């Protein structure tokens, strides 16, 4: 039985025969669930067929299971892998789902699972998962969730640090605050430092971005000598979650308006999230402050995992700034040897606005939560993923990669 108990229309609690499933919490989402046999649940992450054409970044689910202690529970995740034969897998951002957690903080990969064809859907697959749970409550998700609630708790944990300042960068369509974390040595004058602005989770299913930014902040607030040097050389301004409404509602889709936040940055009528963040940046610049580097993060990986740096064309910059841009990318690749890169015009994108509106060295970063095993340059599909039996990168390794980027910025500050 499905019970609607939330002000958010999509949230529900499903009362099963022995256990219950709910999405009625921050970031919770699942399109549909049904139980025909005791503790065997058919789950649909999206509503077919209209959402099958969504980009891979639109694929996400996160729900809680209650009353499951010492019970063996099975899930059948129904997904459509692609629209047509030559398409990449819709779910290639994390073909090795799901992960689960007893506390919502520490996550494990579900091991006992298999892949089957779904004869009822063209290019359909069913991921079979079976798990005996040791606690009465467990959270299950597509990949490591990064929620507004988690960010709130993290901010409360770091608020007292001398080098940390908590601000509001803007407000969402539904009136939620968009939080900003500034980290620097406030005793060093601003004129002696560069300013880096970093944004994450424009697309809420790209959850690695939030964890990667958090890893950067963890390192910056540490006692490491390079962290101290970074605080002295830079002002870091982090916006871990741009699309706070979609994160709260567990939407993998971009925004309630169906508009893509990362196409809004150079529009005259952007959605409120982007409009309010731009006003914050505009006000910063109007006070005579620089924005030297602007990085929009769409995913994060382990240091040796799969990375892609989306660059602006060289002609976006002139003379000295063009040389600085080349040097910045070279240094990032030195610290992240597995990173590939390529130029993209980025018209309307955050990185494009970072360059054209604010005069910053700008790029987007994407990283995957699993080791990349592409053949012929194509993303791996579900079938090849299950044959290879590779695991998703650990949350610890994703966060640790944040420190690597900070070290690259420190070296960049020394090469002028």
Q: What is the pLDDT of residue 92?
A: 66
Q: Band the pLDDT of 52: cuts 50, 70, 90.
A: low
Q: What is the pLDDT of residue 250?
A: 87
CA distance 319 to 336: 26
Q: What is the pLDDT of residue 5?
A: 46
Q: What is the pLDDT of residue 48?
A: 62
Does residue 55 surpass a pLDDT of 50? Answer: no
Q: What is the pLDDT of residue 56?
A: 47
Q: What is the pLDDT of residue 282?
A: 98
Lowest-confidence range among 16-20, 46-50, 343-347?
A: 46-50
- Which has more pLDDT, 114 or 407? 407
Encoded tokens for 109: 């990969």
> Does residue 190 sit in helix, strand or coil?
helix
DSSP secondary structure, 307-325, as one string? EEEEEPPGGGS-HHHHHHH
Q: For the CA atoms of the chain, what is the radius of gyration?
A: 21
pLDDT digits 0-9 by tens, 130-186: 999 999 999 999 989 999 999 999 999 999 999 999 999 999 999 999 999 999 999
Is 0.85 surpassed by the pTM of this model?
A: yes
Q: How far is CA 234 from the centre of its chain?
A: 24
Nearest CA to 383 among 126, 164, 33, 38? 126
* Contact indicator for 71, 364 with CB cutoff of 8 Å: no
User: b/e string for 50-80 if b means 16 or more Cβ within 10 A?
Assistant: ebbebebbbbbbbbbbeebeebebbbbbbbb
Mean pLDDT of 290-310: 93
Q: What is the pLDDT of residue 392?
A: 76
> Does residue 198 sit in helix, strand or coil?
strand
Mean pLDDT of 98-114: 90
* Contact indicator for 137, 404 with CB cutoff of 8 Å: no
Q: What is the pLDDT of residue 344?
A: 85
Does residue 228 surpass a pLDDT of 70? Answer: yes
Angle 188-189-193 (CA atoms, 0-180°, nearest 5)?
85
CA distance 204 to 126: 24
Mean pLDDT of 9-35: 93
Domains plus CATH for the chain? 2-141 (2.60.40.3120), 148-413 (3.40.630.10)
> Does residue 273 sit in helix, strand or coil?
helix
Compute how many other C-beta atoms are within 10 angstroms of the C-beta atom of residue 357: 17
Edge-to-edge strands, sheet with 2-3: 2-3, 13-15, 20-22, 62-66, 137-141, 99-101, 108-109
Q: What is the pLDDT of residue 8?
A: 61
- Which has more pLDDT, 308 or 88? 308
Q: What is the pLDDT of residue 401?
A: 96
Q: What is the pLDDT of residue 95?
A: 75
Q: Band the pLDDT of 4: cuts 50, 70, 90.
A: very low
């Amino acid at each position: 039985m499905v019970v609607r108990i939330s002000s958010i229309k999509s949230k529900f609690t499903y009362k099963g025969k022995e256990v219950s499933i709910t999405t009625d919490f921050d970031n919770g989402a699942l399109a549909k669930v049904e139980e025909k046999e005791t503790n065997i649940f058919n789950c649909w992450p999206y509503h077919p067929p209209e959402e099958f054409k969504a980009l891979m970044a639109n694929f996400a689910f996160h729900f809680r299971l209650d009353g499951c202690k010492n019970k063996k529970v099975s899930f059948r995740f129904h997904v459509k892998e692609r629209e047509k034969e030559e398409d990449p897998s819709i779910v290639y951002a994390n073909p090795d789902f799901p992960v689960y957690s007893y506390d919502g903080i520490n996550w494990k990969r579900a091991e006992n699972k298999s892949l089957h064809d779904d004869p009822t859907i063209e290019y359909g697959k069913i991921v079979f998962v079976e798990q005996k749970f040791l606690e009465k409550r467990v959270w299950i998700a597509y990949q490591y969730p990064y929620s507004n609630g988690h960010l709130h708790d993290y901010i409360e944990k770091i608020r007292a640090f001398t080098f940390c300042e908590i601000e509001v960068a803007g407000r969402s369509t539904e009136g939620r605050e968009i939080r900003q974390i500034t980290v620097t040595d406030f005793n060093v004058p601003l004129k002696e430092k560069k300013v880096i602005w970093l944004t994450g989770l424009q697309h809420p299913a790209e959850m690695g971005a939030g964890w990667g930014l958090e890893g950067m902040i963890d390192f910056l607030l540490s006692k490491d000598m390079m962290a101290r040097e970074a605080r002295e050389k830079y002002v870091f301004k982090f916006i871990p979650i741009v699309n706070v409404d979609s994160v709260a509602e567990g939407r993998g889709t971009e925004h309630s308006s169906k508009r893509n936040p990362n196409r809004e940055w150079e529009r005259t009528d952007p959605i409120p999230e982007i409009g309010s963040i731009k006003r914050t940046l505009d006000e910063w610049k109007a006070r005579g402050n620089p924005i030297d580097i602007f990085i929009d993060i769409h995913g994060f990986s382990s240091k040796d995992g799969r990375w892609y740096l989306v660059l602006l064309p060289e002609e976006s910059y002139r003379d000295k700034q063009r040389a600085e841009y080349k040097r910045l990318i070279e240094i990032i690749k030195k610290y992240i040897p597995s990173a590939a890169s390529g130029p993209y015009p980025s018209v309307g994108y955050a990185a494009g606005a970072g360059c054209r509106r604010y005069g910053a060295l700008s790029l987007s970063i994407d990283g995957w939560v699993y080791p990349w095993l592409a053949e012929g340059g194509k993303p791996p599909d579900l079938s090849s993923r299950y044959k290879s039996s590779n695991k998703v990168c650990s949350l610890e390794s994703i966060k640790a990669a944040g420190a690597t980027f900070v070290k690259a910025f420190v070296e960049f500050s020394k090469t002028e």
